[in-house]
Amino acid sequence: MARPLDVLNIGVPDPRPEPAMPSACETHGCGGAEEQAQPLPAFGVVTVDGHEIDEEQIAEEMPHHPAPSGEEAWRAAAQALVVRHLLMREAVRRGLSGEDTAVAGKRDTDEEVMIKALLDDVVSDAVPTEEECERYYRANRHRFRTPTLYEVSHILIEPEESTGDDGWEAAKAQARTIIAAIGDDHEAFAEAAREFSGCPSGQQDGSLGQIRRGELVQQVQMHIEATEPGTVNPEPVRSKHGWHVIRLDRIIEGQELPFEVAKDKIADLLEARSWTVSAMQVVQSLADEAEIEGVILDAPPAEEDQRQGTLAA
């Protein structure tokens, strides 16, 4: 099983885009303002046994650690660099070497190869038993379900951009007029979608197909779930694209997966969790032997029934 370095939080990007309407509802011509150069953050000097972690390194690492504030991102970046330094130093002490390798189109640097080799040496695998997997399954049945699906159609009424707030109010009024005119009639909804919708889905009678939670922006998803199956919601809902008239055709409830279907994924999850805990304890043992200033490394979690990794000489 692959052992990604991101489990130790040492510098893997974590982009988390906001859920959006399906591609049929995407608008064009979006642009961003040019970024202005910002001064490097400085929240203190970080050293490991007298070796200073350069502030420019910390600044370069920060984008890999999104956080609510610059100080939190700085702290996470500094911690990641301290961990990397501790692991590299131990790899060198053990005489490990690395060379660039390409796996699945991704090139690992010498440093990454050496860290992976070190972790392979010092962290033991803990393959869970079937009994452990069954116990986890019984305690987490809610996690092993097929997703609930919503068969949804919509009519998008876009405001005229040049009219500002008045355009949004006019679009809302038009959406309400459409709702009043079509009621819950499926054919009337389809006809209105073809005639009025500003979304390409209008040419498919407004159908968005089967939607899972998280695929639409939150306010639209909540509106869908507040709609009775087979009806049009009596109020339109606003998104950045305009006002949406929502019809919910049906709900397909998720089904619980049997243990036999879920057990392989559970085994992978428990093995990965055990490995991560052991790896973090290896890092902590290295940190305990070092003099670290400027940041505090988080203590590794203690979990029952986990085989713990040790740093053998």
The secondary structure of 67-83 as a DSSP string is: -SSHHHHHHHHHHHHHH
CA nearest to 177, candidates 196, 163, 160, 161: 196
111 band by pLDDT with thresholds 50, 70 and 90? confident
SS3 168: helix
The token pair at 226 is: 């507040």
CB 245 within 8 A of CB 205: no
Q: Comparing 48-52, 100-104, 217-221, 285-289, which segment has the lowest mean pLDDT?
A: 100-104
Q: Please report the sign of the dihedral spanned by the C-alpha atoms of residue 98, residue 102, residue 104, residue 109.
A: positive
For residues 202-227, give the mean pLDDT.
94
Greater confidence, 164 or 227?
227
- pTM of the complete model: 0.55
In whole angstroms, give the CA distance from residue 284 to residue 300. 7
Greater confidence, 30 or 230?
230
28 band by pLDDT with thresholds 50, 70 and 90? very low
> Pairing relation of β-strands 149-157 and 231-232?
unpaired
CA nearest to 22, candidates 209, 149, 159, 155: 209
Could you give the angle at which helices 110-122 and 259-288 cross, rounded to 10 degrees? 100
Q: Please report the sign of the dihedral spanned by the C-alpha atoms of residue 68, residue 69, residue 74, residue 76.
A: negative
In whole angstroms, give the CA distance from residue 128 to residue 273. 10
245 band by pLDDT with thresholds 50, 70 and 90? very high
Greater confidence, 113 or 81?
81
In whole angstroms, give the CA distance from residue 187 to residue 210. 19
Give strand pairing partners of 245: 155
120 band by pLDDT with thresholds 50, 70 and 90? confident
Whether 31 has a pLDDT exceeding 80, the answer reads no
Per-residue pLDDT tens over the stretch 128-150:
999 999 999 999 998 999 999 99
163 band by pLDDT with thresholds 50, 70 and 90? confident
Distance of CA 14 to the CA centre of its chain: 7
Per-residue pLDDT tens over the stretch 266-277:
999 999 998 888
In whole angstroms, give the CA distance from residue 313 to residue 307. 18
Per-residue pLDDT tens over the stretch 59-70:
999 999 999 998
The token pair at 112 is: 């990454």
SS3 175: helix
Greater confidence, 214 or 31?
214
Whether 186 has a pLDDT exceeding 90, the answer reads yes
Q: Give the pLDDT confidence score for residue 39 in this predicted structure.
A: 57
Q: Give the pLDDT confidence score for residue 286 in this predicted structure.
A: 93
For residues 22-39, give the mean pLDDT.
42
In whole angstroms, give the CA distance from residue 147 to residue 74. 37
Residue type, 33: A
121 band by pLDDT with thresholds 50, 70 and 90? confident
For residues 210-231, give the mean pLDDT.
94
For residues 28-36, give the mean pLDDT.
37
Q: Give the pLDDT confidence score for residue 301 in this predicted structure.
A: 57
SS3 145: strand
Helices (H) and strands (E) in the chain, counts: 8, 10
In whole angstroms, give the CA distance from residue 255 to residue 253. 7
Q: Which helix (H) or strand (E) holds 150?
A: strand 149-157
Mean pLDDT of the chain: 82
In whole angstroms, give the CA distance from residue 136 to residue 290. 37
In whole angstroms, give the CA distance from residue 234 to residue 226. 10
